[in-house]
Structure 1
Amino acid sequence: MSLRILQFGATGQLAREMLDRAGPGVAITALSRAEVDLTDPDAVARAIGEAGEIDLVLNAAAYTAVDKAESEPDLAYAVNAWAPGAMARACQARGLPLLHVSTDMVFSGDKAGPYVETDAPAPLHVYGSSKLAGEQAVLAACDRALVMRVSWLFSAYGQNFLQMMLRLSQTQPVLKVVADQRACPTASGDLAAFILSQGERLAGAPAGAPEWGLLHVVNEGAASRYDMAQAIFALTRPGDPPVMEPVPTSAFPTPARRALNGELDSGRMQAVFSLQLRPWQEALEDVVAQLSAQKETV
């Protein structure tokens, strides 16, 4: 395989997993925010226009502070909507495909079952609205764009629910964990593996091919935050789990209202790519093992 990727993002969960997993024949040029100001659409477009020979562009960068976005809407939209739109226009001008990552938070959570790609979005907050605007900008400007919606990303890197639970368990006598929010926990490494496994195919897919458009990319299975916390401590503290108390979302008032249902149906991924990511519990085992190995190394 020979694949050249221009990647926006160098230190986030997905960005680092892409760099870790890129094997022989895959060259990734990762652009940090210090190198490209994502609030400057001209700088974003210039980075693509002036890049050397590349096969596809991956946007692995985003403004992810869900609650802070309520007080920083301009910044959230600049990074999550206007920057991806600039990427899409620049990719279209060069005839390059664009892979863009979005979120289950474009939905309201009112649906009884898992969301499919054709369900109408209805975000509850600024973050979700900015991500939806990014989806729309990308799909409108680039005819070879894949927008991948993901859910509850976790990894051995960065800030995520897994890392937060492990940290809080060291200081809190009782962990109060939300039990009425459900989604599909997804390993950033499995998302990266999907992108890398399909990179060559996507680089060659023409406009109008079924590969393009919206795609839900999540690990198999759904869980509540409480379910996930139980699984985390079953792996990390099997003989001495922390005391946990299931609580409703209302127990943690936040500036941004949370959707109760973020489950994403991955049927389209199975139909188009003949793939289904493994169960989230299996992915969690691997990430916990990775964290353990990192501690031993330190």
Structure 2
Amino acid sequence: MNPPHIMLIGKVGQVGWELRRALAPMARITCVDFPDIDLTSGDSIRQWVRGSRPDIVINAAAYTAVDKAESEPDKAMAINGVAPGILAEEAKRLNALIVHYSTDYVFDGSSTQPYVETDAPAPLGAYGRSKLAGDQAVQAIGGAYLIFRLCWVYGARGQNFMLTMMRLAREREKLRVVSDQVGCPTWSRVIAEATALALKAATAAPDRQAFSGIYHLAAGGMTSWHGFAQAIINLMPEAEKKCAEIEAISTAEYPTPARRPAYSVLACDKLERTFGLRLPHWEESLRQVLEVGH
């Protein structure tokens, strides 16, 4: 049996880079990213999918500038809301499976217990609304799909909270970090590895459609941004850091253009029931990424 042909969109992002490594042993991969593909252009998207004729389409690309989305809602919606629907439509034409990544920002954060996949979304800002529109567009097409809803993604590459905290800890003696927003910091590598394992199960099944759905995919445990920052800096070598104090502040003390959910913890029981997958505790992954360093 020939390995499946995967079209990976977003090859240089945090998750996309790790996907290339995780999927290489099991598939033939065609990678594409901006500017070669323009996710604001339906013609560009269709041209790439029809030219590649993949068995699996993985959309790891997104407009992720949460605050900037408030002033660029149309661009965020085009990339996050409209493009996934076009990709799903083209995938269905080819009888291909589409994998799409969602976000905890589709919820308003008013819950006091981990969100499950069936909880009603209520995004607080333009970014969350655009991502929710993308989820709904993929579902509406009715093809075979896997939507993985992620939370607080970080890794050794790209732009993310961990790398920002490490940089600031080298530059400043004191940091101020929000302590009243709670979530599940999730390493991009474990996201990619879980995606690969889920794809193996779905593609081996007689009916891939039976796996179609939204799955929460997040690390075990929970913490605040302040707790995450403290853990990152504690694990940094002493010689590398200047920071000696991390002050806990409220969201109100750190105003941003976009409102953030106060509680972003995702329950991942469905992922475990369906695929037998449970991601490591966030502290275990953080320790590993800082030790591995690449």
TM-score of the aligned structures, taking structure 1 as reference length: 0.93
Q: CA deviation at 1:64?
A: 0.2
| CA shift digits 1:166-191 (9 cap, x unpaired) | 11112222100110100111010001
Which segment is superposed worse, 74-83 or 239-248? 239-248
- Superposition RMSD in Å: 1.6
CA–CA distance in structure 2, aligned partners of residues 285 and 55 of structure 1: 36
Corresponding residue number in structure 2 for 1:81: 81
Q: CA deviation at 1:67?
A: 0.2
Corresponding residue number in structure 2 for 1:283: 285
Identity of aligned residues (%): 39
| CA shift digits 1:260-284 (9 cap, x unpaired) | 0000000111111111011111111
Q: CA deviation at 1:105?
A: 0.2
Structure 1 runs not aligned, ≥5 long: none
CA–CA distance in structure 1, aligned partners of residues 198 and 213 of structure 2: 15
Q: Does residue 1:49 correspond to 2:77, yes or no?
A: no
Q: How does 1:74-223 map to 2 (within 5 A)?
A: 74-205=74-205, 206=207, 208-209=209-210, 211-223=211-223
Which segment is superposed worse, 266-275 or 24-33? 24-33
Q: CA deviation at 1:59?
A: 0.2
| CA shift digits 1:35-64 (9 cap, x unpaired) | 111100121122112214x32110000000
| CA shift digits 1:56-77 (9 cap, x unpaired) | 1100000000000000011000
8 A Cα contact 2:182 2:225, kept in partner: yes
8 A Cα contact 1:56 1:203, kept in partner: no
| CA shift digits 1:14-43 (9 cap, x unpaired) | 111112333434222111112111100121
CA–CA distance in structure 1, aligned partners of residues 96 and 182 of structure 2: 36
Q: What SS does structure 1 have at the residue aligned with 2:258?
A: coil
8 A Cα contact 1:5 1:56, kept in partner: yes
| Residue among 266, 269, 276 paired with 1:267 | 269
CA–CA distance in structure 2, aligned partners of residues 84 and 160 of structure 1: 23
Q: What SS does structure 2 have at the residue aligned with 1:198?
A: helix
Structure 2 runs not aligned, ≥5 long: none
TM-score of the aligned structures, taking structure 2 as reference length: 0.94
Q: CA deviation at 1:204?
A: 4.2
CA–CA distance in structure 2, aligned partners of residues 153 and 117 of structure 1: 18
CA–CA distance in structure 2, aligned partners of residues 97 and 164 of structure 1: 35
8 A Cα contact 1:63 1:79, kept in partner: yes
8 A Cα contact 1:77 1:130, kept in partner: yes
CA–CA distance in structure 1, aligned partners of residues 144 and 190 of structure 2: 23
CA–CA distance in structure 2, aligned partners of residues 8 and 24 of structure 1: 18
CA–CA distance in structure 1, aligned partners of residues 23 and 271 of structure 2: 22
Name the aligned partner's letter for residue 81 of structure 1: G
Name the aligned partner's letter for residue 143 of structure 2: D
CA–CA distance in structure 2, aligned partners of residues 155 and 283 of structure 1: 10
Corresponding residue number in structure 1 for 2:37: 36
Indicate how the Cα distance of structure 1 residues 136 and 150 shifts in structure 2: closer, same or farther if over 3 A, else same.
Answer: same
